[in-house]
Structure 1
Amino acid sequence: MTDLSRIYVDECLGGNRGLAEAVARAGLPPAFEEAWRAHLLPRPWFVRAPETAAFARDLEGLFELLVSLPLRLFDGDVDRYAAEVGIDPPLAALLRRGGSGVPAKFGRADAYHDGTGYKLLEFNLGSEVGGVDMGVFNQGLLRVPEFADFARVHRLDHVDIAARTAAVLRDRAKPALSGGGNPVVGLIEGRGGVAPYGRLMRATVEAMAEQGIDVRIGEIDDVRTRSDGKLTLDGTPLDLVLRNFAARQLLDDPAGPDVAEPFFRAHQAGRTVLFTSLESGFYSNKSALALLTDPRRRGSFDAAERALVDRILPWSRTLHASVPAELVDLCRERREQLILKPGAGYGGLDTFVGWECTDAEWDKAVRVAVERGGYVAQERVVPRPEPVYDPATGAVDDWIAALGVFLTDEGYAGTHARVNRADGGAIVGMSSNPDTRMVGVFSHP
């Protein structure tokens, strides 16, 4: 753990109620309050600035490795690459629509710190990753005097994810702006997506408004095309669509993927920018990470690239019906060291945790993963626990964090964290574990 976590908890135990209750006292804007107040940890998370900056640089290098894989390993044949990572032909065809061949460097890497360094669990590329509003938490906390004093003494800092995102949106929207100023942005979900995710989307709108960006919420079938080719939402012209829908949603849409055709046409015509394009989905699949750790591919990378992979990626292998029997047997034998994840999954859903399974349950899970295909076996990473003081009870418990490190074309764009009690199960994610909490992250020297 960082020494600062212990210092923070000791000050709370020593009677500094202002610090202990800083999160509860922090004034937060209404949409963020609605979306996150009930899910906040009683203290922020701390990371070391030099270590986090180094990890962010590694992520930039890893991004370049990922987008080079079709050319480097498959002679530029994207279909062969897609088949290898478990992307079926209809999805692969859709991911190409409206793309340039070079996906935007925009996304969130989820990582554990194991006590020696950061280990990457998955690299979520694309604008639908969510979480850009968490900088609001940091700003609210800094307005609490006792926390502001603590931050000043310990030289705390943070990178505002919303500010970095707003800068990217301004830059990407330039080709579609009819005049100067900030763009009007549509935050667009798939059909039926606003009802379950609306409160989170409103928090994003609020965070962007603080950055001077006008964001409007809608669903994909709410958007219309003007006679000049520009997209509109409720009659308002959109300079940029911030895509909150995934390609798989389009395939599952009753109207089929053509429901997104107006977005591709407007983007190609330069009338309304689609950010990000669907092609990010080629590289956010966890099976792409497995290619990087596969010893059969190791000769395709130079010494520095291999060192990068070894430094931040746990052992991973893709499972499907044609993998060697020896690999399947190895996965069965290593139950206590492995977790099985769907390559294109999210939030820990449909995941099998080996060390929480019986031998029989694990044998069935491996069999299911091989039969279904598209699953990744990943080596267990044990996150470093850190103490958290609960001001309501006075108790101190160990918690673990999945750190979400944001990356844009300009580099590192801030960090937030999802956290669970250390004894609360292996999956740290609100979709699969209702006890998961969200928290802002501060760095220190």
Structure 2
Amino acid sequence: MSDHVTEAYNQQCLDGNTGLLNAMARAEFPPLFHASCGHRLLPRPFFIDEGPMRAFADDIRSVFDLLTQLPDRLFGGDLGAYCTALGIPDRQAALMRRFAGGEPVPYGRADIYHDGTSFKLLEFNVGSELGGADRAEIQRALLGVPEFRSFAEAHRLGYVHTGERIAAALRAAAAPLTGGAEPVVALVEGDGGLAPYLHLVRSFQEMMQRLGIDLRIGEVGGIREKDGRLLLDGTPVDVVLRYFSAAQTVRTPGGEEAVEPILRAHEEGRVVLFTTFQSSLFANKGCLALLSDERGRGAFTAAEVELIDRVLPWTRELTPALVEHCRQNRERLIVKPRADFAGSGIHVGWELSDRDWATVLQESAGGGFIAQERVVPRREPVVSPDTGRTEDWMAAWDVFLTPDGYAGSHIRALPYGAGAVVGMGANPACRTTGPFLVPA
């Protein structure tokens, strides 16, 4: 179904429908969104069957539940042993374990590839430090272009707006404090951490304010206490949307002391921290290796094992004992650090010589890396407004998750063959777009 819609869209572009061909360029985006990524938009959105996408989102929610149960299932509830197995340093582990008594908020973003048959999970960013939520404005803006709206209506296209789902989650989290009134939300980064991402954060703020959320931006050092309330720029705050991480906190001199007022206010019910450091216990890529490893299969039901194998490619902790297997399977494997993000520290086997790959494996084994089976993404044909020709792209999709379930998706894409890591910061050729859902 979605392939048919893609073919119809591209054919109309090739047949001279300039309204569709130039829809992305003609769309009226919010000013800060346009300033942030308007120059990196793909010419068209992508299309995906709604049923399989929602089913995969349900699978992601089930994987989230399995991740949060790993300490109990594999380590007898011993969080210390769990953190040691994942290589989490003691000071970081202490922050993460502080709120480990309850259930973590089901909030995160799963990064996925479509291999032509189904989606596969590559990474799961569990917690509130997420990028890409503002890209739902792409679909909203495209529907303002008459030619695109006509196409969308003809094919009954829909989408899930990530910002709307996040706004609902923040309102629900704040309700015990606000009694249902609109909350004041402070998006708080670590000290010195805002500058590189300020254009992204301001675009997110712009979207949330349009949705009725009074979202303020600041860093940990800008939070003050007065009369029992936390304040940012003199305004009392109901929710702290945490963009500072445990690792960032312990790297910063005096970091634990600086975040203590926020943590204490959350413990005392004076503010809602969305989410706590507990989420970071399950954001480590080593968690996926624990799920995938055959040695832990006895802790899961047959249905859970089937889910893991269906959703997750072969993923293992890179140990010295695994080096020879990985050496022999260079063209099928990628090596990633357990704790880094944004595509940093990745080694791609099929792009390296046998000698260089062997060196990577020797230097990485036992050093906090995972090995993961290569997922070859399907080709996504896009008609270029500049050349009028169809070009193939490779896409990294995602699934946003909130307490209400599937919260939309956005896409990062590279020209096919332009690299192995599809990340906006990792490759200047990377572009972004949004998907529309095609009903059955």
On whether the aligned pair clears a TM of 0.5, the verdict is yes
Range moving further from structure 2, 61-70 or 253-262: 253-262
Query: Aligned ranges for residues 38-57 of structure 1 at < 5 Å?
Result: 38-57=39-58
Structure 2 residue 289 is matched with structure 1 residue 300: no
* 1:158-169 correspondence to structure 2 within 5 Å: 158-169=159-170
Using the alignment, how far apart are the partners of 2:243 and 2:399 within structure 1? 19
| Equivalent position of 2:215 in the other structure | 215
CA distance in structure 2 between the partners assigned to 1:205 and 1:246 by the alignment: 20
1 CA distance for matches of 2:358 and 2:255? Answer: 37
User: 2: CA distance between counterparts of 1:227 and 1:97?
Assistant: 25
Match of 1:426 in 2: 420
Q: Does 1:340 align with 2:332?
A: no
Q: TM-score, normalised by structure 1?
A: 0.96
Aligned to 2:133, the other structure's residue is in SS state: coil
- The one-character-per-residue Cα deviations of 1:131-172 (angstroms, maximum 9, x if unpaired) are 221111111000000000110111110000000000000000
Partners of 1:256 and 1:139 in 2: CA distance: 39
Shift of 1:299: 1.4
Residue identity in the other structure for 1:151: A
Counterparts of 2:48 and 2:83, CA distance in 1: 36
Match in the other structure for 1:276? 275
User: Are the counterparts in 2 of residues 400 and 422 from structure 1 also a CA contact under 8 Å?
Assistant: yes
Q: Is the 8 A contact 1:349 1:431 kept in 2?
A: no
Q: For the Cα contact (< 8 Å) 1:420–1:428, is it kept in 2?
A: yes
Q: Which residue of 2 aligns with 1:417?
A: 411
Aligned equivalents of 1:107, 1:271: Cα separation in 2: 24
- The answer to whether the 8 A contact 1:176-1:240 is kept is no
Partner AA of 1:296 in structure 2:
R
Alignment deviations for residues 300-354 of structure 1 (CA, whole Å, 9 cap, x no partner): 11111011001110001012xxx352x1110111110000011111111110000
CA distance in structure 2 between the partners assigned to 1:221 and 1:238 by the alignment: 15
Letter in 1 for 2:390: V
Aligned-partner residue type, residue 314 of structure 1: P
Distance in 2 separating the partners of 1:114 and 1:380:
10
The residue type paired with residue 119 of structure 1 is: K
Counterpart amino acid of residue 255 in structure 1: G
Residues 172-214 of structure 1 show CA distances to partners (whole Å, capped at 9, x for unaligned) of 012222x542100001111112211111111111111121100
State how far apart, in whole Å, the 2-side matches of 1:350 and 1:110 are.
Answer: 17
What residue is the counterpart of 2:141 in the other structure? 140
Q: Equivalences for 1:96-245 in 2 at 5 Å? A: 96-177=97-178, 180-228=180-228, 230-245=229-244
Once the two structures are overlaid, the 10-residue window that deviates more, 378-387 or 241-250, is 241-250
Q: 1:353 aligns with which of 345, 348, 352?
A: 348
Does structure 1 conserve the Cα–Cα contact (< 8 Å) formed by 2:134 and 2:204?
A: yes
Q: Tell me the residue number matched to 1:317.
A: 316
- For 1:217 and 1:40, how far apart are their aligned partners in 2? 25
Aligned residue identity for 2:251: D
Q: Distance in 2 between matches of 1:114 and 1:222?
A: 45
Find out whether 1:438 has 2:432 as its counterpart: yes
- Give 1:246 deviation, angstroms: 1.5
Kept in 1, the 8 Å contact 2:208–2:214? The answer is yes
Instruction: Kindly provide the amino acid, as one letter, of the partner of residue 236 in structure 1.
Output: T
Find the counterpart in structure 2 of residue 288 from structure 1: 287
CA apart distance, 1:97: 3.0
TM-score, with normalisation over the residues of structure 2?
A: 0.97
1:396 corresponds, among 374, 384, 390, to 390
Deviation per CA, 1:19-55: give whole Å up to 9, x if none: 0000000001111111110111010011110010110
Contact conserved, 1:94 with 1:247, CA < 8 A, in 2? yes
Q: Is the 8 A contact 1:85 1:318 kept in 2?
A: no
- Measure, in 1, the Cα distance between the counterparts of 2:40 and 2:115: 24
**Cα separation, 1, equivalents of 2:430 and 2:233:** 36
What residue is the counterpart of 2:96 in the other structure? Answer: 95
Q: For the residues of structure 1 that align with 2:56 and 2:15, how far apart are their CA atoms?
A: 34
- Tell me by how many angstroms 1:272 deviates: 1.1
Q: Return the letter of the residue paired with 2:415.
A: R
Counting matched residue pairs gives 438
Alignment partners' CA distance in 2, 1:98 and 1:302: 28
Q: Can you list the C-alpha shifts for 1:60-116, whole angstroms capped at 9, x where unaligned?
A: 111111111100110000111111122122211121234544211000000001011
Whole-Å Cα distance in 1 between the matches of residues 420 and 195 of structure 2?
A: 29
Cα distance in 2 for residues equivalent to 1:409 and 1:290:
25
Q: Distance in 2 between matches of 1:209 and 1:424?
A: 37
Distance (whole Å) between structure 2 residues aligned to residue 137 and residue 36 of structure 1: 10
Instruction: Tell me the secondary structure at the aligned position of residue 434 of structure 2.
Output: strand
Secondary structure at 2:129 match in 1: helix
In structure 2, the residue matched to 1:259 is: 258
Aligned partners of 2:108 and 2:180: how far apart in 1?
A: 27
Matched, 1:369 2:364: yes
Counterparts of 1:180 and 1:10, CA distance in 2: 49
Q: % of aligned pairs identical?
A: 50
Partner-residue secondary structure (3-state), 1:414: coil
SS of the residue corresponding to residue 407 of structure 2 reads strand
CA-atom RMSD, angstroms?
1.2
Amino acid at match of 1:294: D
